[in-house]
A and B are shown apart, each in its own frame.
Chain A
Amino acid sequence: MSKYLLEYSSDVVGSPILSKVIVETGVLINVLRADIEHDKASIVVDIPHDEDRVINRFRGSGVTVRKLQENIKRDIENCIDCGACISLCPTEAIYFTEDWSIEVDKGECILCEACVLACPMKAMTIQEH
């Protein structure tokens, strides 16, 4: 899974660029998260293949593209394995193992920060690789 952050400025936020890129490249881009306002937008997408071709199309349309290097990190010193975060994770990337330890599937994580904001132990952070 390759995650990218697409940033739209006010000049291009009104255009259906994402739809255009999907139609033109035939790549089934998966939208993981989208914050769209009237003067800007940021969209996190997963580009399953032909990444360079897709990225160039976005850039050609005035969208800033950045590969997401950050990842969710669980601090095992701070985490008490309670599970307060589990039901808040939209992609079910956080789960209990057999011995009731918390585990995070980083591939499934879309960096939404729901767990970061809810953790009573501040054990979840988003960090650069």
Chain B
Amino acid sequence: MKTIKEINQKIKKGEAVIVRADEMPEIYEDNPKKAAKEVDIVTTGTFGAMCSSGVFLNFGHADPPIKITKLWLNDVEAYSGIAAVDAYIGATQLRKYRDSDYGGAHVIEDLVAGKEIELRAEAYGTDCYPKKKVETTVTIEDLNQAIMYNPRNIYQKYKAATNSSETLMKTYMGTLLPNKGNVSFAGVGELNPLVNDPDYDVIGVGTRIFIGGAKGFIVGEGTQHSPDTGAGNLSTRGDLKDMDPRYVRGCSIPGYGTSLYLGIGVPIPVLNEEIARKTAVKNVDVKTEIIDYGVSRLVRPVIGEVNYEQLFSGRIEVEGKKIRTSPLSSLKMTYHLLKELKELIEDKNFYLTGKVESIPRKGHARSMKLKKGTKTVKQVMTGEVITAKGDATIKEISALLINNHIDQIPIVDEVNKLQGIITSRDITTALARNINKMADVMTRDVITSDQNEAIDIVSRRMDKYKVDATPVVDKNSKVIGIITIADIMRRGGSG
């Protein structure tokens, strides 16, 4: 048995024995008692995209004073509904609503790098705060405070992702190839702080950590903390002014948006044999599930279980097939920061703290309560579909379009199986290019939907593929309906 006070005395004398989390298994297996006695600190950490991160900023008062109601930093909006000249810039806030690859995370990175940031602010003007507009530039030096305060970091576990659908998907879990062409995963396995302290024995409120290259603290459990399902996480705090740009990196995940790559190190004091045993965890013991992102629902199907040794090997076997893997967190950067943390402790610049309160060991996050359910395709689609056979002429199709006031006709075979689709635009194309055969202008690769899918999913698909309608088909590709943008606008609202 050791105390944190004793370990800190050893640090002071330059006698503390510090090992990296991945070195601990061998030391422990060799002699558990000796490991617990001789090892003082196990360094753990992670370097990964942490979306739920942000910074509180205080700009100081203007003359005349302003009570800011809207604020932009390099055109990224920061929340300013806190007093007069305070704001919170979040990592995932984009410069524009969509299609921007610069966001809050980049503003944070630029602040740490000492760059000049354009500040634009608006206010309504009061007797005590008469100023209504500010346009200026600031650097981190100019700010009174820049405190990183992250609601949810250092997830204990994250599910790996694959995609069973037939098209490439761009997700927050990276780019997923069609037909389960790859698996991407987050996390650093045996190096992860909560993997080494799964019961929150030593990590708690007040634990000193190494965050973004600076000293910081664990503030408490993170939002969505779910220890019951092995998905606990932590809320963290650190002074942005002391941070190192190498460990605070804005990123833009294609098709998703911006996030913040952040390096966090957590030293675990080895107080007893029990803690020593837990820090001896190996990649092979750290398991996660592979989830199919090809299914766009909150609860996505699990298609297998893997451990981090398999994930880091570059290839895993899923349903008898070898699939290549991509990490999203950086092992190399994690090793870098763990080395730096060790050197800080050795140089007597970093002492450990004990927790002042425990992180909840029980509980799970609930899902959002929706007062109104989302409508399904079945509720919105047109069930009586006008279809045509493959041998119909362009003239016949044109007549069907006009007489029925519709813009598209699914082409089916004798048993109503979908063969293609033809739109009024295709007819125009046929006219313009002198094409006489309907089959030559018909689209064969049709975007379809299932009658039980949520409208939001189908809207997203129609938006992605730029189509105005999709035939609704059953398991045997038989056409049972059609859903158009107009149907969604008229009948698709929450019901």
Q: Give B249-275 as 1s and 0s: 1 = Cβ < 8 Å from A's Cβ atoms.
A: 101111000010100000000000000
A79-97 vs B, CB cutoff 8 Å, 1 = contact: the mask equals 0111111111000100110
Secondary structure call for the B interface: strand
The reply to whether B252 and A100 contact each other, CB–CB distance below 8 Å, is: no
How many residues of A are counted as interface, with CB atoms below 8 angstroms from the partner's CB atoms? 22
B249 CB contacts on chain A under 8 angstroms: 80, 121
Q: Do A96 and B314 touch across chains, with their CB atoms under 8 A apart?
A: yes
- What residues of A have a CB within 8 angstroms of the CB of B326 in the complex? 83-88
Of all chain B residues, the one with the shortest Cβ separation from A96 is B314
The answer to whether A99 has its CB under 8 Å from any CB of chain B is: yes
- Whether A118 is near chain B, meaning CB under 8 Å from some CB there, is yes
Determine whether the beta carbon of A117 is less than 8 Å from that of B332. no
Best-buried of B174, B261, B329 by chain A (most CB within 10 Å): B174
0/1 per residue, B327-359, Cβ < 8 Å to A? 111111101000000000000000000000000
- CA distance in complex: A100, B394 (Å): 60
Interface membership of B175, Cβ < 8 A? yes
As a 0/1 sequence over residues 215 to 259 of chain B, the CB contacts with chain A under 8 angstroms (1 = contact) are 000000000000000000000000000000000010111100001
Which residues from B are CB-within-8-Å of A85? Answer: 326
Partner of A122, one of B183, B252, B323: B252
Name, among B49, B251, B324, B335, the residue most crowded by chain A CB atoms within 10 Å (CB to CB): B251
* Structural contact, A86 and B324, CB atoms closer than 8 A: yes
A100 to chain B, nearest CB (A): 4
Task: Provide the residues of chain B in CB contact with A48, threshold 8 Å.
Answer: none
Contacts of B253 in A (CB 8 A): 120
Minimum C-beta distance from B197 to chain A (A): 24
Question: Which chain A residues border B175 with CB–CB below 8 Å?
Answer: 84, 88, 114, 117-118
With A96-B314, A120-B251, A120-B254 already in contact, the answer to whether A87 and B47 are too (CB < 8 A) is no
Q: In whole angstroms, how far apart are the Cα atoms of A84 and B172 in the complex?
A: 11
* Distance between B4 CB and nearest chain A CB, rounded to angstroms: 32
Is A101 part of the binding interface, using a Cβ–Cβ cutoff of 8 Å?
yes
Complex CA gap A114/B168 in Å reads: 11
Given A84-B326, A87-B184, residue A100 in contact with residue B314 (CB < 8 A) = no
* Interface size bracket, B side: 20 to 34
The interface residues of chain A lying within 8 Å CB-to-CB of B101 are 122
Q: Which residues of B contact A80 (CB under 8 A)?
A: 47, 249, 251, 261, 330, 332-333
Asked if B177 lies at the interface with its beta carbon under 8 angstroms from chain A, I say yes
Within 8 Å CB of A99, what residues of B? 332, 335
Residue pairs across A and B with CB atoms within 8 Å: the count is: 76
Given contacts A88-B177, A120-B253, contact A81 B49 (CB under 8 A): no
Q: Flag if B314 contacts A84 (CB, 8 Å).
A: no
Question: Taking A100-B335, A122-B101 as contacts, is the C-beta distance between A84 and B177 under 8 angstroms?
Answer: no
Q: B327 touches which one: A84, A114, A118 (CB < 8 A)? A: A84
Report chain B residues within 8 Å CB of A95: 314
Q: Taking the complex as formed, is B153 at the interface, i.e. its CB lies under 8 A from any CB of chain A?
A: no
CA distance A3 to B182 in the complex (A): 27
Given contacts A117-B175, A120-B259, contact A82 B254 (CB under 8 A): no
Residues of A within 8 A of B181 (CB): 87
In whole angstroms, what is the CA distance A105 to B481 when docked?
A: 50
- Assess whether A101 is in contact with B324, with CB atoms less than 8 Å apart: no
| Distance in angstroms between the alpha carbons of A83 and B326 in the assembled complex | 5
Q: How far is the CA of A120 from the CA of B175 in the complex (A)?
A: 10
Q: Please state if A88 and B182 are interface contacts (CB–CB under 8 Å).
A: yes
The verdict on B325 contacting chain A, using a C-beta distance below 8 Å, is yes
How far is A82 from B174 in the complex, measured between Cα atoms in Å? 11
- Is A82's CB under 8 angstroms from B182's CB? no
Q: Which residues of B contact A100 (CB under 8 A)?
A: 330-332, 335
The CB with the most chain B CB atoms within 10 A, among A92, A117, A120, is that of A120
Question: Across the interface, do B254 and A81 meet the contact criterion of CB distance under 8 Å?
Answer: no
Contact A82 B252 (CB under 8 A): no
Q: With a CB–CB cut-off of 8 A, which chain B residues contact A86?
A: 314, 324-327
Residues of chain A in range 112-129 having any CB-CB distance to chain B below 8 Å: 114, 117-122
Interface residues of B (CB under 8 A from A): 47, 49, 101, 174-175, 177, 181-184, 249, 251-254, 259, 261, 314, 323-333, 335
5 other A-B residue contacts (CB within 8 Å) besides A80-B47, A88-B326, A118-B175: A80-B333, A82-B327, A84-B327, A88-B177, A117-B175
Q: When A and B form their complex, which 10 residue pairs have the shortest distance between CB atoms, in order from nearest?
A: A87-B182, A87-B324, A120-B251, A87-B326, A118-B175, A81-B332, A100-B331, A100-B332, A83-B327, A82-B330
Interface, chain A (partner B; CB < 8 A):
80-88, 92, 95-96, 99-101, 114, 117-122
* CB<8 Å pairs between A and B, sample of 23: A80-B330, A81-B331, A82-B261, A82-B328, A83-B326, A84-B174, A84-B175, A84-B327, A86-B314, A86-B324, A87-B182, A87-B184, A87-B323, A99-B332, A100-B332, A100-B335, A114-B175, A117-B254, A120-B251, A120-B252, A120-B261, A122-B101, A122-B252
